[in-house]
Amino acid sequence: MKDISFKYYKCDDLIQKFGEEKLGDRFSKLFSEMIEFLNMNNLRGKATVNKVLLANVVIDYFSDIMRLKDFHTDIDRVNSQKVISYTAYWLLYRKPIQIADDISDNKELATLNERFVLQYILNYLSERERRSHILLRQNKGLENFAGLMLYYLVYRRYDAQAIEMIITAFLAGQIYERTDEDITEQLHPFDF
């Protein structure tokens, strides 16, 4: 679990409801994805993942999910759009990717967390790959979507519900365009 124990974070209610292993697994998965993101973008040494901030992302996410489940008692499993959007929101709020290189003139370092979250969301939306990942497609509409999404994450006010609506709308567009068959169940294996 990358040197993190949630027993020291005063989140006994979350540990009791979800289990420390589940919190640790979410932490480890996000940590690995962030390290991979830094490596892919040649940013190791220029930026680092703050484990304390990332642990707080996990705690905040599970606190929200616990409140949802406590309010909507009939929910057994949270849908994947909600998982991605609430995680994205808390990543943007806590900003666990921290700049380590103060000397760099790379302006993109200021938006590392937003860029990671964009990739995180687009990876989810690309789960049912069509030709290639959204970021790799040579399609003006998808390029505009990704560019506008980054702009939104950097400059606009957002919350988890707004991010969830964007994701849901994107998926609904895919379903709407397929008139020959219902592809709802094909979109995300996370939900089935």
Q: Buried b vs exposed e over 113-141: b needs ≥16 C-beta within 10 Å?
A: bbbbbbbbbbebbbeeeeeeebeebeeee
Asked if residue 1 has pLDDT above 50, the reply is no
Asked if residue 8 has pLDDT above 70, the reply is no
pTM of the predicted model as reported, rounded to 2 decimal places = 0.85
For 55-72, write each residue's pLDDT tens digit: 999 999 999 999 988 888
Structure tokens given for 180: 């020959």
Q: Please indicate whether residue 104 or residue 20 has the higher confidence score (pLDDT).
A: 20
Q: Which of 35-49, 54-68, 82-96, 119-133 has the lowest mean pLDDT?
A: 119-133
For 117-170, write each residue's pLDDT tens digit: 999 999 998 876 565 677 666 778 888 889 999 999 999 999 999 999 999 898
**Quick one: pLDDT at residue 163?**
96
**Quick one: pLDDT at residue 173?**
80
Band the pLDDT of 171: cuts 50, 70, 90: confident
Q: Give the separation between CA 103 and CA 92, rounded to whole angstroms.
A: 24
Q: Give the separation between CA 43 and CA 155, rounded to whole angstroms.
A: 23
Instruction: Work out the number of other CB atoms within 10 angstroms of the CB of residue 60.
Output: 19
